[in-house]
Amino acid sequence: MKGISAVVVRLITASSTFSFVLGALYLRQEQVIGRGFFDAFNFEAIPDPTHGRVNYVDETTARRLNLVSATENTFILRADSTTVLNDSAALGRNSVRIRSNKAYSTHVAVFDIAHMPQGCGTWPAVWETDEATWPNGGEVDILEGVNDQGTNQVTLHTAPGCTMPATRKQTGTSLLLDCDTNANFNAGCGVRVSQASSYGPTFNRNGGGWYAIERTNKFISAWFWPRNARDVPLDVQLGGLIVETSFWGTPVANFPNIDCDLREFFDANNIIINLTFCGDFAGNPSIYAASGCPSTCNSYVDANPAEFVDAYFKFNSINVYT
């Protein structure tokens, strides 16, 4: 512990040197670990806004069905992997959607994730939004993908009037540039992360990693570091009292305040973690077919519960800094 303390002191000293110039020194306001997830988040037993083949359950039901569990150091959120769904009128497979009790505007959030849901038909997401005013309050998708297909995608969704430049300082690849939810079937302005280890089975085989978001009034940026990568910043690994984002290198995704006034398009947002199935994205016939998954999405999810044994999130921690 003495060695770690010395490192933190040096980091604070270095951060203080640069923070007046870069404004990138943040202090931890909340740390969520293990059983603390039950205090920091509420369970949303609501109809899926993305029309998924899913039934979000409340906390009591989730605990009873073992869809959530926690130890001192980890928190697991999963979908049902035992029930064959025979009633086409049913909402869908039991799963969980949680929303943070606190909302954040300018901030940094670091997510230490050891495992994410995988499988055909799955649509896992870690994101931030103001549900009450969506899309006027904005949405940032930090971790999102479908059907074990490709790599992670970081995306903004907004009210009309927010666009992104085609070229900006990031390691990911820009996709569509109009963030308006009314444009391009609400595809948003996304960035595809380059690392194969950023999503799905490859992410899980590598032991997961860290996702981080920095939201300011000048930009929104996201980073990803695979587990055991040599370039994981020390402050990210420690999950300590401070972080200095100017030491983190080029982000995987960067959304600058050039043709999008971030103060106008983004409110204080809650963190949402959820696992749905099929729906508007994973269940899109062309997307589902391109993934190489069998049958149709809804019928596959209904008939093959055992295929979702690995459809779970395992969080080591979430740290929020302001």
Helix (H) or strand (E) holding 285: helix 285-290
Catalytic residue of the set 30, 44, 128, 139: 139
- Please count the CA atoms within 13 angstroms of the CA of 51 that sit on its side-chain side: 7
Active site includes 139?
Answer: yes
Count of CB atoms situated within 10 Å of the CB of 2: 6
Whether 30 sits among the annotated catalytic residues: the reply is no
Kind of pairing, strands 209-215 and 122-129?
A: unpaired
How is 214-257 classified by DSSP, letter by letter?
EE-SSEEEEEEEETT-TT--HHHHHT-SEEEGGGS-S-SEEEES
What is the rounded distance in angstroms from the CA atom of residue 101 to the CA atom of residue 124?
A: 20
Location of structure tokens 């025979």: 86
Catalytic residue among 59, 72, 128, 144: 144
Eight-state DSSP code of residue 154: E
- DSSP string covering 294-320: -S-HHHHHHH-GGGGTT-EEEEEEEEE
Q: What residues form DSSP beta bridges with 168?
A: none
In one-letter notation, the amino acid at residue 180 is D
Question: What residue ranges in 67-145 does DSSP mark as E strands?
Answer: 68-70, 75-78, 93-95, 97-104, 107-115, 122-129, 139-144
Residues 215 and 267: their CA atoms lie apart, in Å, by: 11
Classified as helix, coil or strand, 280 is helix
* DSSP-derived 3-state class of residue 74: coil
Sequence letter at residue 132 = A
Q: Which residues are catalytic?
A: 139, 144
